Amino acid sequence: MHAVMMPQKTGKNYQAQNRPSQGSSSYQTNLSACEVKQKPSDSKENNPMQDDEHADDQDGDVLQIAMEYFEKDPIRSLRSKDKILEKHLITVENVAWKNGLAPETIDILLNVALSGRFGNAVNTRILKCLIPATLISEDSVVKAVSWLCVGKCSGSTKVLFYRWLIAMFDFIDHKEQINLLYGFFFASLQDDVLCPYVCHLLYLLTKKENVKPFRVRKLLDLQAKMGMQPHLQALLSVYKFFVPTLISVSLPVRKKIYFKNSENLWKTALLAVRQRNQGLCPEPRKLMLGPANIRPLKRKWNSHSIIPVLNSSSHTTECGKKEMNLSEYLSSSGSLPLEQLQRFPQLLENIHCLELPSQMGSVLNNSLLLHYINCIRDESVLLRLYHWLSQTLQEECVWYKVNNYENGKEFASFLDTIIRAESFLHEGFYSCEAFLYKSLPLWDGFCCRSQVLQLVSWIPFNNFSEMKPLLFDHLAHLFFTSTIYFKCSIIESLKELLQNWLLWLSKDIHVKPVTDSPLDTSLCESMNSVFKLVHYVGWLSTIGMRLESNSTFLMHFILDFFETACDIYLIYNLPLVVLFPRAIFYSALFTLDASILNQLCYIMHRYHKNLTAAKKNELIQKAKSKLSFSSKTYKEFNCCLTTMVGCLWTSKPFKKGIRFSPETLEKLGVEEHKRSLNLVYHSSLLGYAVSFLLQDFIETLTELNIILVLGTLQKLLYLIGERATLLLLC
Amino acid sequence: MRSALGGGLGLQLELHFSAMQKTMDPYDAPESTPRQHPSCSLKEYFLAATPLQRRLESVRKQATSFVPTPPRRRIPQRSQLQEDVDPQKVAFLLHKQWTLYSLTPLYKFSYTNLKEYSRLLSAFITAEKQKGLAVEVGEDCNIKVVFSTLLGVKGTQSDPEAVLVQILSKPQLPSEDREAKALWTGWFCCVFGDGLLETVSEDFTCLPLFLANGAESNTAIIGTWFQKTFDCYFSPLAINAFNLSWMAAMWTACKMDRYVAATEFLWSVPCSPQSLDISYAIHPEDAKALWDSVHRTPGEVTQEEVDLFMDCLSSHFYRHFRIHLSATRLVRVSTSVASAHTDGKIKIICHKYLIGVLAYLTELAIFQIE
């Protein structure tokens, strides 16, 4: 029998799970469902879903001690009335009902309960609280069954164990080895008390290959002995279902309820486990009964989560054949059910015969299927996803309906899931685009802010002029009326939008070679859209800078945007160069912050490279390309560059671009305006100048020097004053 | 009280200070209004070849036109029903209160498999009702699910056939000759749904309007089954005050041989702690007379006419009671043709205008799922 060593950190790190198990090869490594998606819910660890991690830590420690007690103290166990035992039991019960137990904890406790070390009462209590956090290891079950053979536990404990097994059947990670014990379970049918439960278990466990003539005979014998028992009939009907030829007895058709509901002991706990396994917060779902919500029906309908659970499609069987033959369906091995899909290689092997999920929305939570969705271009798949996502967004959107804000958290996490999927696919969903068009006009700019802005950055490439009234105008309103931080986030998400569009376009342009004219015009249109987007951001930035009185913070975000925008030609290989607005150029040039000046110089440098490269290419393939850059762009850039060089380097500012007549300058009392903006005296570099002076002269500090230094500083300060006046003029 | 004033408009006023209804206005949020979809132009057709692209085109277009040209709708005409309609089944749809839902297109729904669906759905319902028990696909204990088509309940030939789903309780003893009692009824239809049909591929069946009558828990179970089986999505279809006004105007405009009920409006005043309801009942012939006086374009209803009609009603009310109805919210409209509540409940009364009523509801449902 294997040593049961379950990985402790499940789920949190996808990489970690896929790592082959280190150490002994006898470890149980294939923890099936954990690999797709699972919340870390090991009670010994911090549970991030809990608010009070501290309390959880304590829980974990206490549980640890309790487990050590149960594991290593066989002698004391004789005194079962022990207070310590009671304390530990309570600990286990608390943790179990709150968070569920880790597989290895369940393993230990099962051992304890079935080995007969304690009395019946204790065993019952332990069994009742064996609620898994997520899954139960198959090995634990196999070990537990082996205890049944030893005969140390009482009949009632055995019954409870079987009931537990039936209730938890779905949470056992594998069933192959349990199925190997089929013969053992079958033999337990002899026991009159156990018989109903064993029947139920076998009912769940039976596969076609388990149906043997001798078993059928045995069952029929039992039926003859005990009469028409519903549980026996159930098992017989399963047998008959698999091998109709073996069983000639007629079974009543009307009666379909064979088993008493044995899981009701754990009913609430099971619900919690299911929710946990679906990756939901364990907190109880609030039902909205607010007056504004006319019918909170939908809540009741999809009670578990917004995103449907992954299920294989049933269309193939339902619609392919008139009469669905379940046994045929079960034994068919043609296609791979989605529930079995765990790893990427599996996906590659079975990509031709994969069954699509019955509800397309479930792919959002499954990265493997997202891969699949990405590479197939089946229109109906996309339409199904589109319809589902559009409706769900519309129904769940918290600001769409009044007083719906209670579900804000849930909606935000739903949006997060969508954004994760979008960034995984590097592609936006059309439903989200439509959703933004509909909902952005009603958005307060606050609720789910980061999510909405991320959705904006994933809007698929589109005609800008068409989108402007739908989206960008509303965004502009929000931009102008919000705080500086919101302004920065908008500029940032627009930068991401630009990057996504450029990536998409550059990919697209390589797919279709630019040869024939209709494509050329479409390329022209695309470039026009990008141009308008950059232009729009320039416009936003200009007004934003004025509103925020030339905030350096905002300027950083704006220049970040233009760092992307200036490199369109060279990095993305798209025939477009858009300059930034003059206002941005000047406020960056006369900045007080050295890093902004630095960034500006870099952007100018990249513009220069792009424009030069464009010019060169244009000369080479002049005949072919319709996409020539207008000479206006070059003139504009040259003008900026001259101004910049004039200010920073040659000390001849205002020869081009902004010009002042000598009289104006005289009136202002700025005498030495020429030098005041060059590298030495530039106010943003003042800090460096001062530190240079201090550094150099501090060692040889004489009185003379001090006078010199102070003089220089005075001059610098004076120049700053002049510069400020100049800035006001600009 | 009945006021003798008001130029031929008999008017009844009841003020309910209803403690029961505490509903505040769920429609305060600005909602854009549905409008008719211009059919795809030829150019568009070539540019947007696949259904999904067409769908997106239409969404963008719809969202773009924030200031639509005033919509026009045809006044429901009598006997638009197809000839092969089963009068018994149609009678069955009338005089019942239906809760409205919109429904996205059904994936791989097949009219040839209705029997199979009956079997699967009944198994599903049994399973849902007895959670945790073993249930087998097959015959069940005491309910029966019947899928059938409602022939003729459609606007054009291209509309898919309407589908009726019934849950019947089986008589306990086979010997009993009693007719099975319907526990729950629901039907799916599409009347003049061309705009939607254009944008989906052949794998889908468009039945955007779903009407249910029966226990909500049953609706939930059946809805869940449909969502799981055909990958569709149900959302409650509420009717906002704007659309209720349209209904009032269109239904008043219908020619009736005999009026069976007064034309009645219910306005709700959102005040705390209890809302105040104002019921405004008019003799149907007076309403028709008012409508005829504002009506200009024959056979059609325009936005101006609707506004004018409602304005006339409220100004008349103001003259007598000094209450501005425009400051309140219209929550229910009932006429001899049909009655509709803002919660998305409808009762169709007049057999003749069944299709007309359904056409407008289909339009609303399609608007919601786009």
Residue B24 to residue A292, Cβ atoms within 8 A: yes
Please tell me the predicted confidence (pLDDT) of residue A75.
53
Distance CA A260, CA A267 (A): 14
| CA A101 – CA A41 distance, rounded (Å) | 8
A671 in helix, strand or coil?
coil
What pLDDT digit, counting tens, does each position of A640-699 carry?
A: 888 888 888 887 776 655 666 777 767 766 666 677 777 777 888 888 877 877 776 666
pLDDT at residue number A274:
72
- Mean pLDDT to the nearest integer, A708-725: 62
Residue A355 dihedral angles phi and psi, to the nearest 5°: -85, 135
The pLDDT assigned to B346 comes to 96
Cβ atoms of residues A385 and A373 within 8 Å: yes
Q: In terms of C-beta density within 10 A (0-12 exposed, 13-18 middle, 19 or more buried), how is residue A180 classed? A: exposed
Structure-token pair, residue B88: 């018994």
Q: A567 vs A574, A607, B55, CA distance in Å?
A: 9, 7, 35
For residue A560, the model assigns a pLDDT of 96
Span A426-432, mean pLDDT? 88
Question: Tell me: the pLDDT tens digits for A321-333?
Answer: 434 444 444 444 4
Q: How far is CA A660 from CA A720, A729, B125, in A?
A: 18, 9, 84
Tokens 């339009």 belong to residue: B363
Q: A251-269 in b/e burial notation, b at 16+ Cβ within 10 A?
A: eeeeebebbeebbeebeeb
Mean pLDDT value of segment A557-584: 92
Mean of pLDDT values over A51-60: 56
- DSSP notation for B16-79: E--SS-----TT-S--PPP-PPPPPPHHHHHH--SHHHHHHHHHHHHHH-SSPPPPEEEPPPTT
Instruction: Report the residue from B26, B59, B134 with minimal CB separation from A292.
Output: B26
Query: Which chain B residue shows the shortest CA-CA distance from A401?
Result: B29
How many CB pairs lie under 8 A apart between chains A and B? Answer: 162
Q: Which residue of B has its CA nearest to A438?
A: B63
Within 10 angstroms of residue A643's Cβ, the number of other Cβ atoms is 22
Inter-residue contact A388 to A435 (CB < 8 Å): no
Neighbours of A185 (CB within 10 A): 22
Query: CB–CB of B25 and A292 under 8 A?
Result: yes
- Please state the rounded mean pLDDT for residues A19-43: 38
Q: Which tens digit of pLDDT belongs to each residue from A471-520?
A: 999 999 999 999 999 999 999 999 999 999 999 888 877 665 544 444 55
Query: Lowest mean pLDDT: which of A19-28, A304-313, B11-20?
Result: A19-28
Cβ neighbours around B79 below 10 Å, total = 10
φ, ψ for residue B163, nearest 5 deg: -120, 135
Integer Cα distance of A403 and A400 in angstroms: 9
Nearest chain A Cα distance for residue B111, angstroms: 10
Cβ-nearest to A319 among B28, B29, B108:
B108
Q: B137 and A360 in contact by Cβ < 8 A?
A: no
pLDDT at B225: 92
C-alpha A59 chain-centroid distance: 29
Of A387, A430, A469, the CB nearest to B56: A430
Supply the pLDDT for residue B293: 93
Q: How far apart are CA B363 and CA B370, in angstroms?
A: 11
Is the Cβ pair A383, B141 closer than 8 Å?
no
**Over residues A114-122, mean pLDDT:** 81
Q: Give A541-561 as a 3 state SS string.
A: HHHHHHHCCCCHHHHHHHHHH
Cβ B272 vs Cβ B22: under 8 Å: no
Higher-confidence residue of A77 and A209: namely: A209
Nearest CB neighbour to B59, from listed A267, A314, A434: A434
**CA distance, residue B101 to nearest chain A CA (Å):** 11
Instruction: Quote the pLDDT of residue A364.
Output: 87
> By C-alpha distance, which of B6, B16, B316, B235 is closest to A298?
B235
Q: On the CB side of B364, how many CA atoms lie within 13 Å of its CA?
A: 25
> Rounded distance, CA B77 to CA B81, Å?
10
Q: Where are the alpha helices (H) located in A566-685, listed in sequence order?
A: 568-571, 582-589, 594-620, 631-648, 662-668
C-beta of residue A67 within 8 angstroms of C-beta of residue A38: no
DSSP helix/strand/coil, A540: helix
DSSP string computed for A268-331: HHHHHHHHHHTT--SSPPPPP--TT-S-THHHHHT-S-SSPPP-B--HHHHHH-SS--HHHHHH
Closest alpha carbon within chain B to A382:
B52
CB A372 within 8 A of CB A348: no
Lowest mean pLDDT among A238-247, A427-436, B306-315: A238-247
Q: For residue A201, give the chain B residue with the closest CA.
A: B134
pLDDT of residue B4: 34
Chain A partners of B108 at a C-beta cutoff of 8 Å? 315, 319
Residue B11 backbone dihedrals phi, psi, to 5 degrees: -145, 135
**8 Å CB contact of B369 and A391:** yes
> What is the rounded distance in angstroms from the CA atom of residue B245 to the CA atom of residue A445?
32
> Chain A partners of B216 at a C-beta cutoff of 8 Å?
297, 300
Backbone φ and ψ for B205, nearest 5 degrees, come out as: -115, 125
State residue A208's pLDDT score: 82
Where chain B has pLDDT below 50, the residues are 1-49, 64-70, 138-140
Give this complex's ipTM.
Answer: 0.80
Cα separation, A381 vs A364, whole angstroms? 13
The SS3 assignment for A145 reads helix
Contacts of B130 in chain A (CB under 8 A): 257
For chain A, what is the mean pLDDT? 75
Q: Phi/psi of residue B97, each to 5°?
A: -90, 120
**What's phi and psi for B106, nearest 5 deg?**
-85, 135
The more confident residue out of B357 and A336 is B357
Residue keyed to tokens 């530990």: A88
| Residue-wise pLDDT tens digits, A527-549 | 889 999 999 999 999 999 999 99
Per-residue pLDDT, A382? 84
The amino acid at A698 = I
Tell me the two tokens of residue A577: 């160069």
Q: Peptide bond before A345: cis, by omega within 30 degrees of 0?
A: no
Handedness of CA A480, A486, A491, A497 (dihedral sign): negative
Length of chain B: 370
Interchain contact, A292 vs B110, CB within 8 Å: no
Phi/psi at B169 (nearest 5 deg)?
A: -85, 135
CA distance B342 to B238: 6
Tell me what pLDDT residue A240 has: 80
Beta bridge partners of B212: B99, B186
Question: What SS3 string covers A186-218?
Answer: HHHHHCCCCHHHHHHHHHHHCCHHHCCHHHHHH
Each domain of chain A, given as residue ranges in start order, spans 58-265, 342-431, 491-510+520-628
Angle at A130 between CA A126 and CA A135, to 5 degrees: 160
Alpha-helical segments (H) within A471-581: 473-481, 484-511, 517-547, 552-565, 568-571
CA distances from A161 to A169, A225, A328 (A): 12, 26, 33
Confidence of residue A17 (pLDDT cuts 50, 70, 90): very low
Check residue B28 and give its pLDDT: 38
Please report which helix (H) or strand (E) contains residue A233, including its range: helix A230-242
Phi/psi of residue A160, nearest 5 degrees? -65, -40
| pLDDT at residue B55, as a whole number | 61
User: Please, what is the angle between helix A195-205 and helix A155-167, to 10°?
Assistant: 30
Q: pTM of this prediction? A: 0.65
